[in-house]
Structure 1
């Protein structure tokens, strides 16, 4: 167990699913036989798979310091520190090199098989692969997905569907009905793909007997023995910092476990989707508040397992995003103080500044919830000149060049200025706005959690879950 104070820190047979023919890899089957089968009596009744998209090791370290109580000498242990089991490699199929995208990584976590970047639970030959959620459903368990992205985004789609490209969002949304309904609970965003002019998939779910909700307040009105689809945004949910409930993933997970609980057990996928988006944005403020929401989810799941000891919880990341570093520019410090007090995302603060007639230091300080010094305020003042220069240059582009290059937006210039100030204040560093190939942490607790210890590959996680589902 980590001591923060001292700074230590499958298959055997092939099945058919609805209208989808599912294949499996012979090597995977051999691996499963070599691992041996867990005795039926030892199988967990409920399995909760948590994917923290983009959460490399630096994110859990950063959260420890973000969560620290400065009034004490001890750096308090976090829920992540309590349940660390090991590391997992994340590389995709050789055709895509060493750096994975979310689709290939989620496919590995859902099926136990490597594939190419962009694939949604199909192999490198684009043939469908059986997922742990589909297998759990076949075994009579209830199933569900809870995400802060749209429910047909790469990770949830890789557990629920099969497609050659993660970008085929409408096709993936259609498949949730056309290929057979595979879950009893769907919580996340997605109005854009599920309520369209050409097809209203929400209505089709309702015709299939589902409850539909579109606000958090309706969660308390759900009928327990009736499936539910809850869509709460056009695409992904708002940043935790901007949402009406800053722990909305926790709220949705609590509702899902209550809805899924039954004698046969359940399989639930929970994705903290927007940690990854914070990494892509090189936005430490939003990333830490997404981590805080995830931490509250895990603390809730600790209490759920205490009351339901036949439950297994596994948490890992699909990859790490942004090349986050805690300290930059040879300066031996990382200061998360201002991150703790922020109440709005940099994007919302930038939008507020643009909507204001004139720059007002007092108002900006109120939106940030920390005080800018004179140099930092000067950086904000200079934004408009930089934006005007960029706009002038864009006007000089040819029609073809303008089509290929997005016109400058004033709010984006302010947002970038705010991010620069926050990085400087906290001394946060980034190496990329993309993914990295580093191994990611694996956490587990509950029944059979010891199965997830040591150095693993991401495919091992799915193989072990298949075994624990009796395959």
Structure 2
């Protein structure tokens, strides 16, 4: 296959003065060195997005893990790092309720766009992300997600596309979009083999030829030499649901290994996404919602320990939006019973699929749920097995909603503000009520603080596109008029 190079010159200017960083409220037993680092601009920046995690999800998680033997609801890993809230609305053309693509574009670039936009503004013109800028400034860059890596959130940090649905074209951008001749991400971990190894293009092979280590299993990832450039795709599309995965801490595991390969004296930017909190919300699946929140909590616990050892690191955690309209308590009943969610041995999707293979499906479901059910409930579960798999899945969700007294208002997104959490160097900058675009703007400023003499930023974004001429000559293309330049 013949490739042609075309440089698209894009100039970005960061307006406004650099933010003055305040103290971070260090405790008395911290060393002076750590205090100085906490008050300084970070050398490493880790952006964690819990897709779909509205405020009700973090509250529900606190109740889910609470020890009922204590008189108070116990604090969780998120509570002491809460900074404030962020508004999430997209560009006016899309109203007040954002989708993941517009929200990711805002979080990545500081630019509001329309629902469905991947790294482009409302005029479908490319915008630069904080990952692009980090690469420009000589930092190593990476991502670790539980969705396919071409899904909306990770895509917006690397690719430019008018529609989040164009997965193959977005996968092309992962290799084709360059910052001063360099690939945007040094480490990419998640799912998505189907989009990178296709009949029309073998992008995995291109990454290997470019010097990247490739792995498709968790165990193989552990053997990759430290400091490598890595493409790790562990599923054809997304990773399995947390309740079904072979690792019960998959996001922590991917994050830990991403950091291992990104660490260097000049710093790094890492995007981490707990992608499937959102999918649980869309499905109104409280069991998976809490399992995915647990996976996120393991990751934040690891990152807190990491920041203690590396105080020049900033970690930001937020959501792109809230999904599902989760309510803790429902139908006028002032109660919630998360104990029914503690011992599930598989996701509801897997249970719904497998229950027809058992002679006594009700008993199978009860055993897999991990709690006692009545004879009447066993009979109800037996009757569910006679339905198709989608109906079985929905019936199991309703069963658990009734047991836990969980409510949902929608299968889509809601427009509520989301929580913002932060810890490490410069975390105080995220205090208060902000907008999702402010998060990207603050990260741009932190990266720029590594070179405070820069007033404006100019860089070339190279797009390497296959020619569409049979004779192999370069294809001319007007980027503005012909979006994909096909």
Task: Quickly name the TM-score band, shorter chain normalised.
Answer: 0.7 to 0.9
Is structure 2 residue 167 aligned with structure 1 residue 191? no
**Match of 1:169?**
167
Paired residues, what number? 426
**Match of 2:459?**
none
More off after superposition, 438-447 vs 224-233:
224-233
**Match of 1:449?**
427
**Match of 1:371?**
372
Answer whether contact 1:84 1:443 (CA < 8 A) is retained.
yes
**Match of 1:437?**
415
1:225 to 203, 215, 227: 227
The whole-number CA distance in structure 2 between the counterparts of 1:128 and 1:351 is 42
Pairwise CA distance, 1:360: 3.9
The whole-number CA distance in structure 2 between the counterparts of 1:23 and 1:277 is 36
Distance 1:298 1:338, change over 3 A: same
The whole-number CA distance in structure 1 between the counterparts of 2:329 and 2:54 is 16
**Match of 2:149?**
151
TM-score by length of 1: 0.87
The whole-number CA distance in structure 2 between the counterparts of 1:311 and 1:453 is 17
1:339 to 331, 335, 341: 341
Pairwise CA distance, 1:384: 5.3
Answer whether contact 2:311 2:424 (CA < 8 A) is retained.
yes
**Match of 2:110?**
112
1:67 to 62, 65, 68: 65
The whole-number CA distance in structure 2 between the counterparts of 1:237 and 1:360 is 27
Answer whether contact 2:47 2:272 (CA < 8 A) is retained.
yes
Pairwise CA distance, 1:76: 1.5
**Match of 1:412?**
390
Q: How does 1:298-317 map to 2 (within 5 A)?
A: 298-317=300-319
Pairwise CA distance, 1:73: 2.1
The whole-number CA distance in structure 2 between the counterparts of 1:185 and 1:341 is 34
Pairwise CA distance, 1:36: 4.2
**Match of 1:42?**
40
Is structure 2 residue 353 aligned with structure 1 residue 355? no
1:426 to 392, 404, 416: 404
**Match of 1:78?**
76
Higher RCO, 1 or 2 (CA under 8 Å, sep at least 6)?
2
Pairwise CA distance, 1:82: 1.2
RMSD, aligned CA: 1.8
Pairwise CA distance, 1:137: 0.6
Pairwise CA distance, 1:176: 1.0
Distance 1:23 1:286, change over 3 A: farther
Distance 1:71 1:18, change over 3 A: farther
2:237 to 217, 235, 238: 235
1:130 to 128, 131, 134: 128
Answer whether contact 2:90 2:98 (CA < 8 A) is retained.
yes
The whole-number CA distance in structure 1 between the counterparts of 2:169 and 2:331 is 46
The whole-number CA distance in structure 2 between the counterparts of 1:197 and 1:189 is 18
The whole-number CA distance in structure 2 between the counterparts of 1:446 and 1:107 is 24
Q: Deviations over 1:399-446 (max 9, x none)?
A: xxxxxxxxxxx1211111111110000000000000000000000000
More off after superposition, 68-77 vs 208-217:
68-77
Distance 1:359 1:412, change over 3 A: farther
1:465 to 440, 443, 450: 443
The whole-number CA distance in structure 2 between the counterparts of 1:259 and 1:355 is 44
The whole-number CA distance in structure 1 between the counterparts of 2:88 and 2:290 is 22
More off after superposition, 221-230 vs 458-467:
221-230
The whole-number CA distance in structure 1 between the counterparts of 2:372 and 2:440 is 47
Answer whether contact 1:23 1:130 (CA < 8 A) is retained.
no
Pairwise CA distance, 1:314: 0.3
Secondary structure (helix, strand or coil) at the match of 1:450 reads: helix
Higher fraction of helix: 1
The whole-number CA distance in structure 2 between the counterparts of 1:36 and 1:329 is 47
The whole-number CA distance in structure 2 between the counterparts of 1:151 and 1:133 is 15
The whole-number CA distance in structure 1 between the counterparts of 2:6 and 2:277 is 34
Pairwise CA distance, 1:252: 0.5
More off after superposition, 362-371 vs 99-108:
362-371
Pairwise CA distance, 1:352: 1.3
The whole-number CA distance in structure 2 between the counterparts of 1:106 and 1:131 is 10
**Match of 1:405?**
none
Q: Structure 2 stretches of 5 or more lacking a match?
A: 23-36, 450-486
Q: Deviations over 1:329-359 (max 9, x none)?
A: 1100000001111121011111111223x33
Q: Structure 1 stretches of 5 or more lacking a match?
A: 1-16, 388-409
Is structure 2 residue 322 aligned with structure 1 residue 324? no
Distance 1:338 1:378, change over 3 A: same
Pairwise CA distance, 1:367: 1.7
Pairwise CA distance, 1:366: 1.4
The whole-number CA distance in structure 2 between the counterparts of 1:161 and 1:149 is 16
The whole-number CA distance in structure 1 between the counterparts of 2:399 and 2:65 is 21
1:91 to 89, 92, 96: 89
Is structure 2 residue 103 aligned with structure 1 residue 101? no
Distance 1:244 1:384, change over 3 A: closer
The whole-number CA distance in structure 2 between the counterparts of 1:94 and 1:384 is 46
Pairwise CA distance, 1:246: 1.6
The whole-number CA distance in structure 1 between the counterparts of 2:305 and 2:397 is 36
